[in-house]
């Protein structure tokens, strides 16, 4: 079983950091809080340790891993070339939930890039993540600390449940801040492309770059980020998105209930009174502040999957954090299909 150590982000314990650093140096795996979701960290320069991440998570080997750095300077040794635009974005958004894609340097292991020629890097802002990176003194590669395909962990308890018997240490630093992962931005082509919408809004990136940024929507062979083709964020029970409240959605709920199925709803404060009494309602936040919805989304999915047979969700506007929220919901939803 993993060691499970509490840490106060406002008063970081040196003993806990020392223990984590020792495990990383010995090639072990440490789960730690970041401002987005919990990460599963290994020494980014130890291939044996990196391989353990794929085994613990049951992650496909072609899915590359983000390298986390404590200092911006480290980017210059991990990547071959740092553009002016990348520098501008790092200056404005780091530390924070923006991951940038760079041409890799020869120091980067193939396991981290999925065999490709690019590397994803970010500097997290969570005090525990930053303290760990600086105590360790070099880069830590870390995917989200969940079993592959499952909703990302926003609490240490989620990590314990998915990976408790597969890793060496879980640092419990309480709930994360954002609750959705970082925005992954590829600046290596002519047009900047968001490969994964996340906690850093597209609009903010466009404002700093002074130009439009595209969102990758394609399918098929030319997938720029292998992670995009794998099913993601899915709870154990089917999740359906209610696309349209004007349709026959209440009857559909009744049908499920007649079949003996328990129905759970991820609801916004504004729509809570729409739903019939025979569903299990979880109010995840308010539409007036989408950060509240984002921060509760994965936790509520993990809670409801234990309580009901079907989960329903509302839709959210495709702007600001809404883009990341809808991306996670679409990927989590049952065979990516609509229910109405
Ligand atoms: O917020 C986050 O980004 C969290 C925390 C722990 O930092 N990490 C995270 O990692 O979400 P992961 O592995 O669960 O998701 C990383 C995504 C995947 O979709 C992966 O395919 C993509 O980033 N990615 C990583 N390296 C890449 C690369 N070199 N080129 C293209 N996409 C890459
Ligand atoms: Mg993940």
Q: What is the pLDDT of residues 12-58, one digit of tens each?
A: 999 999 999 999 999 999 999 999 999 999 999 999 999 999 999 99
Q: How far apart are CA 72 and CA 103, in angstroms?
A: 16
Over residues 217-253, the pLDDT tens digits come to: 865 445 666 655 556 788 999 999 998 887 788 888 9
Please choose, from the candidates 128, 160, 141, 130, the residue with its C-alpha nearest in 3D space to the C-alpha of residue 27.
141
Hey, whose CA ends up nearest to atom 17 of ligand 1? 227
Cα 245 to ligand 1 centre (Å): 34
How far, rounded to the nearest angstrom, does the alpha carbon of residue 121 sit from its chain's CA centroid? 14
- Span 82-122, pLDDT tens digits: 999 999 999 999 999 999 999 999 999 999 999 999 999 99
pLDDT at site 64: 98
Q: Say if CB 83 and CB 27 are below 8 A apart.
A: no
Number of the ligand 1 atom closest to the C-alpha atom of 182? 1
Band (297; pLDDT cuts 50, 70, 90): very high
Query: Which residues, at least 6 apart from 183, have a Cβ–Cβ distance to it below 8 Å?
Result: 97, 98, 99, 194, 196, 197, 198, 199, 200, 201, 202, 205, 324
pLDDT at residue 252 in the model:
85
| pTM, entire model | 0.95
Report the separation in Å between the CA atom of 117 and the middle of ligand 2, taken as the mean of its atom positions: 21
Residue nearest to atom 15 of ligand 1 (CA): 143
Ligand 1 atom closest to the CA of 178, numbered from 1? 1
Give the mean model confidence (pLDDT) for residues 276-294.
97
- For residue 302, give both structure tokens: 């993990």
Per residue in 119-139, pLDDT tens? 999 999 999 999 999 999 999
Structure tokens at 154: 């926003």
Residues with CB under 5 A from ligand 2 (ion): 144
Q: Which residues pair with 263 in a beta bridge?
A: 310
Residue 29, C-beta contacts closer than 8 angstroms, at least 6 positions apart: 23, 40, 41, 42, 49, 52, 53, 56, 166, 167, 168, 169
Q: Which pair of structure tokens corresponds to residue 77?
A: 């040794």
The distance between the two most distant Cα atoms of the chain, rounded to a whole number of Å, is 61
**Cβ distance 267 to 315 under 8 Å?**
no
Residue with CA closest to ligand 1 atom 21? 227
The confidence score (pLDDT) of residue 338 equals 47
* Mean pLDDT, the chain, integer: 94
What atom of ligand 1 comes closest to residue 63's alpha carbon? 21
CA of 309 to the centre of ligand 2 (A): 24
Give the distance (Å) from ligand 2 centre to CA of residue 275.
31
Nearest 5°: the CA angle 181, 55, 182 is 10
Asked whether 63 and 146 are in contact (CB, 8 A), the reply is: no
The closest-lying atom of ligand 1 relative to the alpha carbon of residue 113 is 29
Determine whether 152 is exposed, middle or buried from the number of CB atoms within 10 Å of its CB (0-12, 13-18, 19+): buried
Q: What are the CA-CA distances from residue 204 to residues 93, 177, 208, 264, 319 (Å)?
A: 9, 18, 6, 34, 11
What are the pocket residues of ligand 1 if the criterion is a CB atom closer than 6 Å to any ligand atom? 34, 36-37, 39, 63-66, 97, 99, 101, 113, 116, 118-120, 124, 142-144, 181-182, 184, 195-196, 225-227
Lowest mean pLDDT of 43-47, 180-184, 327-331, name the range: 327-331
Q: Which residues contact 87 (CB under 8 A, 6 or more apart)?
A: none
Distance 285 CA to ligand 2 centre (A): 23
How would you classify residue 328: left for phi > 0, otherwise alpha for psi between -120 and 50, otherwise beta?
Answer: alpha
pLDDT of residue 244: 82
CA-97 nearest atom, ligand 1: 1
């Amino acid at each position: 079983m993993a060691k499970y150590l509490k840490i106060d982000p406002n008063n970081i314990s040196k003993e806990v950091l020392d223990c984590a650093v020792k495990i990383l140096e010995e090639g072990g795996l440490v789960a730690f809080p970041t401002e987005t979701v919990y990460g599963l960290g290994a020494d980014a320069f130890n291939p044996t340790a990196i391989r353990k991440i794929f085994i613990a998570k049951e992650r496909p080997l072609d899915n590359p891993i983000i390298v986390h750095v404590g200092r911006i300077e480290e980017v210059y040794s991990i990547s071959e070339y740092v553009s002016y635009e990348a520098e501008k974005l790092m200056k404005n958004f780091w530390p924070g939930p923006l991951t940038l894609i760079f041409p890799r340097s020869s120091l980067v292991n193939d396991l981290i890039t999925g065999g490709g020629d690019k590397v994803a890097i970010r500097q997290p802002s969570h005090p525990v993540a930053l303290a760990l990176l600086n105590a360790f003194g070099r880069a830590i590669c870390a995917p989200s600390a969940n079993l592959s395909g499952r909703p990302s962990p926003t609490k240490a308890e989620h990590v314990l449940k998915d990976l408790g018997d597969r890793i060496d240490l879980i640092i419990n630093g309480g709930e994360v801040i954002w609750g959705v992962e970082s925005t992954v931005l590829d600046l290596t082509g002519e047009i900047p492309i968001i490969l994964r919408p996340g906690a850093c809004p597209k609009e903010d990136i466009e404002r700093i770059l002074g130009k439009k940024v595209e969102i990758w929507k394609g399918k098929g062979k030319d997938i720029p980020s292998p992670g995009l083709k794998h099913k993601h964020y899915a709870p154990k029970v089917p999740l359906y998105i209610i696309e349209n409240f004007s349709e026959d959605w209440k009857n559909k709920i009744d049908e499920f209930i007649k079949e003996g199925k328990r129905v759970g709803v991820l609801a916004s404060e504004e729509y809570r009174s729409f739903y019939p009494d025979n569903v299990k309602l979880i109010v995840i936040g308010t539409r007036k502040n989408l950060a509240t919805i984002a921060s509760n989304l994965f936790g509520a999915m993990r809670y409801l999957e234990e309580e009901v047979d079907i989960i329903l969700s509302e839709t959210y506007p495709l702007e600001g954090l809404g883009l990341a929220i809808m991306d996670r919901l679409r990927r989590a939803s049952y065979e990516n299909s609509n229910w109405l």
